[in-house]
């Protein structure tokens, strides 16, 4: 079930996760070592000495190099062996695999497919996190389920009204979707764009926003998905009927990187246009993390348990109108996976 798209930029970690120390993280079911060179440049390599397969992350850092703790081979940031205690000069044929990395939007992006295709210009746009008048907090979740369950969860926001009924779902005084909610979803090239709009909201929202309580407003979320699992939320609220030219009061990135076939790293930077004191970041991240860990995370672990190694689409789920974006995303993923495998047909299971 390790259906990983290989040729894509994935988030390996947040920019602040790495520095001088050796940092280990399993990504796409491979052990990866990350650190920064003395000049700050991020480095990623396979966390496995090519000699006897020790984790390099358990070794020690010497300048920009890493020394294996088992028998002392030393490797540079480019993966080449820089010192062997057993040779006069380091043999040219000893090297550890490295991965292209790019630091952008506060995150370290890694390419674990064909390195020749690793074009930094392909790093997905998350410039909204650095937009003027916004402040961003970094949230890192993990869940015990396949990465595509993250796409499914985030592309069908109706789960807010049920799974999150007692936290951030819907409105403070009752659960369930508001009357008049409008949902659209469409394929735009390799992206899936969807919007959920609730016009003329008069109830107090459980989601923090900047509108004065009591005033009716229009509330909407423009969602843009891109493969493998890169989602942006642009969340708006405006006085009723004045949606034109609105600037989102909050934006969120939701980016999933497979840890294994059945567990996932989920990076979710959230940008807010108010309450921007960085000292408040901890409150923001713990607010969202508590909800995720109590509600979304267990749900995705449950679904993974129900799948028991099967593919979700092979289990023929009932498809609802609000699954449109999620299904378009699954079809796009199936198309890309088939292309990576050299297949011309789209996997039938996803049709």
**Site residues, a second copy (CB under 8 A):** 31, 48, 50-55, 58, 67-73, 84-87, 93-94, 152, 156, 158-159, 161-163, 176-177, 299, 302-303, 306-307, 312, 315, 317-318, 320-322
Between 129 and 328, whose beta carbon lies closer to a second copy?
328
For residues 142 and 259, the answer to whether their CB atoms sit within 8 Å is: yes
Between 136 and 219, whose beta carbon lies closer to a second copy?
219
At 243, give phi and psi (nearest 5°).
Answer: -80, -30
CB of 89 to a second copy, least distance (A): 13
CB of 65 to a second copy, least distance (A): 14
CB of 324 to a second copy, least distance (A): 11
**CA separation for the pair 37, 155 (Å, rounded):** 38
**CA separation for the pair 85, 89 (Å, rounded):** 9
CB of 114 to a second copy, least distance (A): 20
Buried b (16+ CB within 10 A) or exposed e, 146-177: bbbbbbbbbbbbbbbbebbbeebbbbeeeeeb
Between 152 and 281, whose beta carbon lies closer to a second copy?
152
Between 129 and 312, whose beta carbon lies closer to a second copy?
312
Between 58 and 276, whose beta carbon lies closer to a second copy?
58
Instruction: Show the tokens assigned to 168.
Output: 């951030």
Between 51 and 61, whose beta carbon lies closer to a second copy?
51
Strand partners, 252: 233, 270
CB of 100 to a second copy, least distance (A): 23
CB of 159 to a second copy, least distance (A): 6
Between 8 and 33, whose beta carbon lies closer to a second copy?
33
CB of 210 to a second copy, least distance (A): 29
Q: How far is CA 156 from CA 47, 50, 161, 260, 303, in A?
A: 36, 44, 11, 24, 15
Q: How far is CA 249 from CA 131, 133, 238, in A?
A: 11, 10, 9
- Which element (helix H / strand E) includes 317? none
| Omega prior to 228 cis, within 30 of 0 | yes
């Amino acid at each position: 079930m390790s259906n990983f798209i290989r040729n894509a930029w994935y988030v390996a970690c947040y920019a602040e996760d790495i520095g001088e120390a050796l940092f280990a993280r399993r990504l796409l079911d491979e052990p990866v070592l990350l650190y920064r060179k003395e000049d700050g440049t991020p480095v990623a390599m396979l966390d496995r000495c090519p000699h006897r397969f020790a984790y390099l992350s358990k070794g020690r850092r010497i300048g920009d190099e890493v020394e294996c703790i088992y028998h002392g081979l030393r490797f540079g940031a480019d993966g080449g062996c820089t010192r062997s205690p057993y040779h006069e000069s380091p043999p040219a044929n000893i090297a550890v695999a490295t991965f292209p990395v790019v630091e952008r939007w506060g995150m370290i992006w890694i390419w674990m497919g064909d390195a020749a295709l690793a074009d930094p210009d392909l790093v997905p746009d998350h410039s909204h996190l650095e937009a003027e008048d916004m402040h961003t907090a970094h949230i890192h979740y993990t869940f015990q389920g396949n990465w595509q369950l993250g796409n499914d969860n985030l592309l069908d926001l109706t789960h807010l009204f049920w799974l999150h009924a007692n936290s951030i779902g819907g409105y403070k005084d009752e659960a369930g979707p508001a009357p008049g909610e409008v949902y659209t979803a469409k394929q735009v090239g390799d992206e899936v764009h969807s919007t959920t709009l609730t016009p003329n909201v008069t109830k107090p929202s459980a989601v923090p926003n900047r509108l004065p309580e009591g005033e009716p407003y229009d509330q909407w979320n423009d969602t843009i998905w891109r493969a493998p699992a890169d989602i942006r939320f642009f969340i708006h609220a405006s006085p009723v009927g004045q949606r034109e030219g609105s600037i989102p009061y909050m934006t969120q990135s939701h980016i999933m990187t497979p840890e294994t076939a059945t567990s996932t790293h989920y990076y979710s930077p959230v940008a807010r246009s108010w309450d921007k004191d960085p000292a408040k970041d901890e409150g923001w991240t713990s607010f969202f993390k508590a909800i995720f860990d109590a509600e979304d995370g267990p749900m995705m672990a449950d679904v993974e348990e129900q799948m028991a190694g099967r593919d979700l689409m092979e289990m023929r789920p009932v498809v609802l109108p609000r699954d449109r974006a999620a299904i378009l995303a699954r079809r796009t993923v199936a198309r890309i996976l088939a292309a990576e495998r050299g297949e011309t047909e789209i996997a039938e299971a996803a049709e």
